[in-house]
Amino acid sequence: RPLVGVLSQPRYWTGAPDAPGGYIAASYVKWLEAAGARAVPILYTDSNETIHGKLSSVNGVLLPGGDSDISPGTSLRAAGESVVRESMAAAAVGETYPVWGTCMGFQLAALAVSGDESIFRTFDGPDMTSKLRLTKAAKSSRMLRSIPPDVLAHVTTNPKSIYENHVHGFDPGDWKRDARLVETFGEPVALDVDRDARPFVALVEGRSGVNVYGSQFHPEKPLGEWNPRLAIPHDEGAVRVAQSLANFFVGEARRS
Average pLDDT over residues 237-248: 97
Residue 74's pLDDT is what?
A: 92
Check residue 1 and give its pLDDT: 83
pLDDT given at position 110: 98
Q: Tell me what the mean pLDDT of segment 138-167 comes to.
A: 97
Predicted confidence at residue 131, as pLDDT, reads: 98
How confident is the prediction for the chain on average, in pLDDT? Answer: 95
The residue-averaged pLDDT of 187-192 equals: 98
Query: Is 103 tagged catalytic?
Result: yes
231 by Cβ neighbours in 10 Å (0-12 / 13-18 / 19+) ranks as middle
8 A C-beta contact, residue 62 and residue 248: no
Check pLDDT > 60 for residue 119: yes
Q: Judge whether residue 18 has pLDDT over 60.
A: no
pLDDT band at 21 (very low <50, low <70, confident <90, very high): confident
Q: State residue 13's pLDDT score.
A: 57
Characterize the bridge pairing of strands 38-42 and 3-7.
parallel
CATH of residue 65: 3.40.50.880
- Could you tell me if 19 and 11 are in contact, meaning their C-beta atoms sit under 8 angstroms apart? yes
DSSP string, the chain: --EEEEE-B---STT-PPPTT-B--HHHHHHHHHTT-EEEEE-TTS-HHHHHHHHTTSSEEEE---S----TTSHHHHHHHHHHHHHHHHHHTT----EEEETHHHHHHHHHHH--GGGEEEEEEEEEEE--EE-GGGGG-HHHHTS-HHHHHHHHH-TTSEEEEEEEEE-HHHHHH-HHHHHHH-S-SEEEE-TT--EEEEEEE--TT--EEEESS-TTHHHH---TTS----SHHHHHHHHHHHHHHHHHHHT-
Statement: residue 94 has pLDDT above 70: yes
pTM recorded for the entire structure: 0.95
Longest dimension (CA), the chain: 47
State how many domains the chain has: 1
The residue with greater pLDDT, 179 or 10, is: 179
Each residue's pLDDT tens digit, 42-90: 999 999 899 999 999 999 999 999 999 999 999 999 999 999 999 999 9
Q: Give pLDDT, residue 15.
A: 56
Q: Is 154 a catalytic residue?
A: no
Q: What does the pLDDT read at residue 11?
A: 79
pLDDT at 16: 58
Q: What is the pLDDT of residues 195-239, one digit of tens each?
A: 999 999 999 999 999 999 999 999 999 999 999 999 999 999 999
Which residues are CB-neighbours of 206 under 8 A, at least 6 positions away?
Answer: 87, 91, 184, 185, 212, 213
Q: Distance (Å, rounded) from C-alpha 163 to C-alpha 234?
A: 10
Q: Average pLDDT in the 142-171 region?
A: 97
Structural domain boundaries enclosing 224:
3-254
Average pLDDT over residues 142-161: 96
Q: What is the pLDDT, as a whole number, of residue 17? A: 57
